[in-house]
Amino acid sequence: MAVNFYITGWLTASAGVGLIKAFKEYGEESFTVEGNKIGIPEELIEEIPRVLANILTENYELKESLSVKDALQKALSPFRNFHNNHVVINNSSIKKWAEEKEGKVKSKDELKKLLEEYLTHVIFENILKSKESEKACFFCNERKAYLKGREVSVFDATVFTPLSGSLETVNNFFYNGRSNLYLCKECELFFLFSSFGFTRTPRGTYIFAYVPDLMETYSINNMLHIEKEFSKEWFDRSVAEIVKNIEKEKADWLLSNIYFVELEPFGRDKSKIYTFSIPPRVARAMKRYLDEYPKNLNSLFGTFLEYIYSGRNLYELLLLILSGYLFSESYKKGGKLPPPIKFGTAQKFLPKYLLFFIKFQEVLDMRDNVEKQINWAYAEGLNLRKEIFRNAENEERAKKKIQGISYRLLDAVRRRDTDSFEQNVIRAYLEVEREIPYLFVEAMKSGAFNRIAYAFLIGLNGGNKGDGEPSE
């Protein structure tokens, strides 16, 4: 008979991913996954202490001999940000059990065996051996919640600390100050696997990606575990790859339903929780343009995601990049710079692939068929640049001329002053004795100010022939 667990959101999904990962590492694959239900044979419940001991010691390095107490505390440390003060990692539980053991732990194998003994003891004595109540488990609705002494076991801060570390974060979980999310023995053990579903980043946070399909979620987070961040490479090899290989309707649905979670621990038992999903219009833009994301902009991919998920306009991102480029000397004298400004200060010229941000934003704004206009504005900026170089006495004068024009144009863009922008463009064309393109004036009047202005500025500050400007 199978013991079933049900995936209803990112919390239970993280436990499901962690369970699959841990059982696979243990060499046990007799579990079944049907949609968002995962089942394991009933007899494997008693194997859980050994499964946990195996994954906890998988990458553990024992650099010196430790006392039994210290060895257990270090081995169980991955649980602390997720299940703080749970009976499994409670210091009093560890201390009481360790007092009966003598000697030092000298090897990884010794630690693994010790951990199996400890987890088997504490889980059996405090959870599996407990009596059942009459309350149905909130999470599976198939089994009865168990009794902790005289109290019915509930989902609380020890079961998943980040979500229930304070009442302010989960007011809806409580009624008159008490949780009514009753918890059975099996589901409590199930939640112990959630820490293995998350990926620890170099920044000390924990991240998880969820879609309403458990095996797809498992696949996505496997790749996330390799990349350690929400990166372009991870998105390409996981989410984007899945999207490419399924029919359009399901792909659109998956992109619209993917959910990203980041936990930032602070203090002893609290975490800030950041969650974001992809709005339908963002999913539409990603489906259309994400494959074209330039590799040269990889350093800005995290910032790009942050902008589109939070609803910030990508023209704001471009403004920072152009400011960093045009005022690089001033910025370099300061301290730590935001990624877009830092990117701008590092450029010798503005590369054509920055047009990606313009095109993506226009699709976000539900404006189609503007790519030709964007490319045309870029080409006009590049042509004006060439004319300025051709008419200047020397290269240095040409660069200063372009810099001066760009300062004024960027200021007009920042203030959204179309009149000032037009006047400065007209003056620039007259100085090189070139006719102002009629389409340019018409485009500026048609509500296309941002896309025309930014594309033109990128072209005006683009690379000369031989500067290494990559082709599209």
Q: Would you state the pLDDT for residue 288? A: 74
**Within-domain flag for 466:** no
- Does position 179 have pLDDT exceeding 50, yes or no? yes
- Does position 466 have pLDDT exceeding 90, yes or no? no
Query: 434 with 324, same domain?
Result: yes
Query: 186 with 50, same domain?
Result: yes
- Does position 237 have pLDDT exceeding 70, yes or no? no
Least confident range of 42-56, 70-84, 176-190, 271-285? 271-285
- Does position 173 have pLDDT exceeding 60, yes or no? no
% of the chain surpassing 90 pLDDT: 41
**Within-domain flag for 377:** yes
Find the helix or strand (DSSP H, E) in which 67 lies. strand 66-67
- Does position 357 have pLDDT exceeding 90, yes or no? yes
Q: Which of 304, 328, 354 is the last residue of a domain?
A: 304
Least confident range of 173-182, 243-252, 387-396? 243-252
The phi and psi torsions of 86 (rounded to 5 degrees) equal: -60, 150
Give the integer Cα–Cα distance in Å for 153 and 460. Answer: 67
Sorting pLDDT into bands at 50, 70 and 90, what band is 187? very high
Give the integer Cα–Cα distance in Å for 188 and 183. Answer: 6
**Within-domain flag for 469:** no
**Within-domain flag for 388:** yes
Query: 54 with 170, same domain?
Result: yes
Q: Which of 304, 333, 359 is the last residue of a domain?
A: 304
Sorting pLDDT into bands at 50, 70 and 90, what band is 382? very high
**Within-domain flag for 256:** yes
Q: Would you state the pLDDT for residue 174? A: 45
Give the integer Cα–Cα distance in Å for 324 and 25. Answer: 47
% of the chain surpassing 70 pLDDT: 86
| SS3 track for 7-32 | CCCHHHHHHHHHHHHHHHHHCCCCCE
The position carrying tokens 């999903």 is 277
Give the integer Cα–Cα distance in Å for 381 and 304. Answer: 25
**Within-domain flag for 266:** yes
Report how far apart the first and last C-alpha atoms of the chain are (Å, whole number).
Answer: 58
**Within-domain flag for 350:** yes
Give how far Cα 410 sits from Cα of 22, 135, 297, 398, 455, Å: 54, 65, 22, 18, 12
Query: 284 with 343, same domain?
Result: no
Rounded to the nearest 5 percent, the helix, strand and coil shares of the chain are 55, 10, 30
Give the domain extent around 392.
313-460
Query: 334 with 368, same domain?
Result: yes
Query: 120 with 171, same domain?
Result: yes
Least confident range of 120-124, 199-203, 251-255? 251-255
Question: Phi/psi class of residue 433: alpha, beta or left (left: φ > 0; alpha: ψ in -120 to 50)?
Answer: left
Query: 17 with 129, same domain?
Result: yes
pTM: predicted TM-score of the whole model, two decimal places = 0.65
Query: 141 with 231, same domain?
Result: no
- In this prediction, residues 271-298 reach a mean pLDDT of 78
**Within-domain flag for 299:** yes
Let me know if 136 is exposed, middle or buried by CB neighbors in 10 A (0-12, 13-18, 19+): middle
Mean pLDDT of the chain: 84
Instruction: Note the Cα 155 to chain centre separation in Å.
Output: 26
Query: 142 with 285, same domain?
Result: no
Let me know if 379 is exposed, middle or buried by CB neighbors in 10 A (0-12, 13-18, 19+): middle
Give the integer Cα–Cα distance in Å for 442 and 93. Answer: 76
The position carrying tokens 């038992």 is 269
Query: 35 with 137, same domain?
Result: yes
Let me know if 393 is exposed, middle or buried by CB neighbors in 10 A (0-12, 13-18, 19+): exposed
Query: 62 with 100, same domain?
Result: yes
State whether residue 390 is helix, strand or coil: helix
Q: Which of 194, 209, 227 is the last residue of a domain?
A: 194
Total count of domains within the chain = 3
Which tokens is 297 given? 């902009």
Instruction: Note the Cα 413 to chain centre separation in Å.
Output: 31
Q: Would you state the pLDDT for residue 119? A: 92
State whether residue 270 is helix, strand or coil: strand
- In this prediction, residues 50-54 reach a mean pLDDT of 93
Sorting pLDDT into bands at 50, 70 and 90, what band is 471? very low
Query: 183 with 212, same domain?
Result: no
- Does position 318 have pLDDT exceeding 90, yes or no? yes
